[in-house]
Amino acid sequence: MGGEPADVVDLATGDDETHGRDAIGPAGTATPEGRRTPGTSVGGVEKLSTRQVYENPWMVVREDRIRRPDGTDGIFGVIDKPDYALIVPAEEDRLHLVEQFRYPLGLRRWEFPQGTAPDRAEADPLELARRELREETGLRAARMTQIGTLDVAPGMSSQRGRVFLATELTEGQPERELTEQDMRTAWFSRAEVVGMIRRGEFTDAQSIAALGLLLLHEQRM
């Protein structure tokens, strides 16, 4: 953002196109402050020690002992998850959304396709975006444009994400994982999406932020 040109990948000529990277780490991996090793100090906050509290195939929860710039000690509870990709599939005035059951909320809700690599692996953001789009919707994009970066919950999580605009779309069969078998997909006009936001029917924070990035991207064009 900030006036810098977005990364654009034209996939119509093949899958081996190179693409730019932003400043969040090699091969798209995040390098946030929370993942630094004990004994290091960034921004005046020193990480004294860390202990793992819990882990599963999707996340690690840890507690870090820290020392603030004024010399007082404290703790941070941090959730480490791999970086994710969020895709905005767009065709003329329409946007493609997915709907699924989100267990922590106990609700079904609409959002843009998004996800991480399995087993907490780090993946190239572009390849991850292409895979998530194909798996969740069956859509293939001949053109993928990176339009921004999002931090999920910087007060408690180190996870970051990249947002891609997917255009020149062709339809195919979804390749969903077992956890996504209840997923539905549909095209909505932009006016319908805005109406869903106003009525509180479209509440995914990352998706709403991605819609804002899309609008900013279009203003630069």
Q: Are 111 and 15 in contact (CB under 8 A)?
A: no
The residue type of 39 is G
pLDDT cut 90: percent of the chain above it: 72
Rg (CA), the chain: 19
Beta bridge partners of 184: 99
C-alpha span between 66 and 50 (Å, rounded): 9
SS3 track for 164-175: EEEEEEECCCCC
C-alpha span between 86 and 105 (Å, rounded): 20
Report if pTM > 0.85: no
C-alpha span between 68 and 45 (Å, rounded): 5
Number of H helices, E strands in the chain: 3, 12
Query: Crossing angle for the helix pair 205-220 and 190-198, nearest 10 degrees?
Result: 140
Confidence of residue 41 (pLDDT cuts 50, 70, 90): confident
Summary mean pLDDT of the chain: 86
The model's pLDDT over 77-113, given as tens digits with 9 standing for 90+, comes to 999 999 999 999 999 999 999 999 999 999 999 999 9
Higher pLDDT, 95 or 32: 95
